[in-house]
Each structure stands twice: as structure tokens, then as C-alpha cells.
Amino acid sequence: MVTKATTVSPEMSDLRLLATAEELGGLSAAARKLGIPKASATRQLQRLEAVVGHPLARRNGRKFSISEAGRALLLDARPAVEAIDNAVSALRESGGALSGTLRIAAPFSIGCTVLADVLPDFMRAHPDVRVSLDLGSRKVDLLADEADIAVRVGAHGSDHLVVRPLFTERVILCASPRYLAGMAAPTSAKALARYRLLDFRAAPATRELELTRGRKSVVVRITPVFTVNDPEPLRRIAEAGGGIAVMPRSFVEDALTSGALVEVLPGWSLRTATINAVYRVELGRSHNVRAFVDHMIGYLSERALKK
């Protein structure tokens, strides 16, 4: 039961707790993110409810939800909490050199190629920033504070997430001369169905490839003999003569230059994919996040101009 509202102003830490609990869907998760004991989080919520005179959350066993009064309060209070947190963060980081930890999550293939090229210059420019790079196929939960920045193939922004495009990746078909020596290279898109296909997309056993040339578009149903969610093993199998690979071009540039792989149906185009940097809206004022994303965009733009 909530007592009658007092004339005391709410504590900013209590409002931050309520906003975090709504964001993460629970008081325990909010306590972990804020680094406080669960019992303290409960007392803070009770204190805030006493101040406003309304129940702000519903707790039924393990289920937690924000009440109508809680949502109404956060509608006005959340921008104030975020503004203060951003201002404090900016003030802390405005003293010159960047410092602290920057947590980046990315697919293994992008980490080993793009980020491996980008990070050395960034770390030399900002020696006091500690970088934690998490590579893998799992999609990290940015809203649960599992990373500061996620590099993702395709992404959509929201009220809570910012998406900044980094570069566009062209997808091609390629194979080793060894494989193509055993059978003539395909001369049409529809002929692909007769070849051994290798695909980096984790998808059902039978999937479709859409190829375009000018105004002509052809959809080919294929059943790959090998699929993997990372381009590196796919490239090696293609170089060994395993078949025709569906590959992001940037991961086979060296092999195409050396002749270890050749492009198949070069007059046809497959889809392109946009690689994005994604981070929480409130981190948009973080000097570390902004500096790294700006550095990455600048580096990739300069590299594109040199090609």
C-alpha cells in the first residue's frame, strides 16, 4: 500500500532506477546494471512510491511491470534523467584525452578484417582507452548494456538505438580455377542450380539467390552443399575447390587479386548489405563512442577512396 504523497522531491537515483527497471523489464536486472543490491533497489522504489503517492510497479511473483502511474511519471522524468546523466558523462570526458573502457561487439569475420584494421590507429591516438572486443555470431543486447557499440550487418534504429552506416558490402559468386577446370563455368544465372554451392548465410537447406543484370532479374533456388555463418572457412573451402561460394567481396579481395579465386557470372549482381554501428541513444554523447564511430567512418571512407 502506498501512503499519501509527500512534498519531498524525488531522488534522481530513484527515478533512474525506475527508468532502468522499465527498460530491462525487472528490478533485479536494473539493480545489476546500476551496481546496487536488490534490497536497496526495492527500498528505492518504495521511497519513490511514497514520494509520488502512487504504486509505480506491479510485482506478481517473478513478473514485473510498470504501472500506468509509473509510465506517466517516466514520460516526463526520463528525459531529465538522461539529460543529467549525459551532462555528467560529457563533463567527465571533456578533460582532454579519452579514457575508460570501450566495449565493442561484432561478428568474427568483421572483427578479424575491418576492426583489426581500424583499431590500431584508434588505440595509438587514444592510449588511455581500454578496448574490449567481443567477437561471435550471438547478437548482443545493447539495451541490457552488454556492449557500448555493436557492428552489425543490417540494422534498424529505434527510440532507444542509433544506427550509423559504416560501409556497403557487395556479395559475389566466386570459385577456384581448380573447381572450374573440372566443369565449365556457368554462363547463366539459372545454370547455378547444377553446381556445388557454398553459402555464408545461415538459412534453411534450400534458399533463393536473386541476381540482376541491368533490368533483368532472376531468382534461382539452390541447395548449398556447405553453409557457415562466417566467411573465413567458406573462403578456404572455395580456394580448395569445394564449389562456387556466395561471399562478401571484401573477404576475398586478396584471393581474387592473387588468382586463388575468380568471380563467377561477373556481369550479374547479387544483393548488397550495409554494415552499421549501433549504440544506445544515451551513449550518443559519450566521447569514447563518438570518437570511435567517427574514426571508423573516416578510416573506411579513406580506404574506399583509395580503391
What are the residue ranges of CATH 3.40.190.10 in the chain?
Answer: 100-167+274-306
DSSP one-letter code for 5: P
What are the residue ranges of CATH 3.40.190.290 in the chain?
Answer: 169-272
pLDDT in tens, 97-142: 788 899 999 988 788 888 988 999 999 989 999 999 998 878 888 8
DSSP one-letter code for 231: H
- For residue 185, what are the CA distances in angstroms to 95, 127, 222? 61, 51, 16
Q: Taking residues 276-300, what's their average pLDDT?
A: 86
pLDDT in tens, 244-268: 999 888 788 889 999 999 999 988 8
In sequence order, the 6+-apart residues with CB closer than 8 A to the CB of 34 are: 16, 17, 20, 41
Looking at per-residue pLDDT, the higher value among 197 and 303 belongs to 197
What pTM was computed for the model? Answer: 0.58
Q: Which CATH class is domain 12-93?
A: mainly alpha
When the pLDDT of each residue in the chain is averaged and rounded to a whole number, the result is 84
Helices 12-24 and 38-52, packing angle to 10 deg: 110
Burial class of residue 303 in the structure, from the number of CB atoms within 10 Å of its CB (0-12 exposed, 13-18 middle, 19+ buried)? middle
Q: What CATH number should be reported for the domain whose range is 100-167+274-306?
A: 3.40.190.10
Most confident of 46-55, 59-68, 77-86: 46-55
What are the residue ranges of CATH 1.10.10.10 in the chain?
Answer: 12-93
Task: Map residue 58 onto helix, strand or coil.
Answer: strand
Q: How many residues does the chain have?
A: 307
DSSP E strands: which ranges in the chain?
57-60, 63-66, 100-106, 129-135, 149-153, 161-175, 197-199, 207-213, 216-222, 226-227, 244-248, 262-263, 272-280
At the topology level, CATH places domain 169-272 in D-Maltodextrin-Binding Protein; domain 2 (3.40.190)
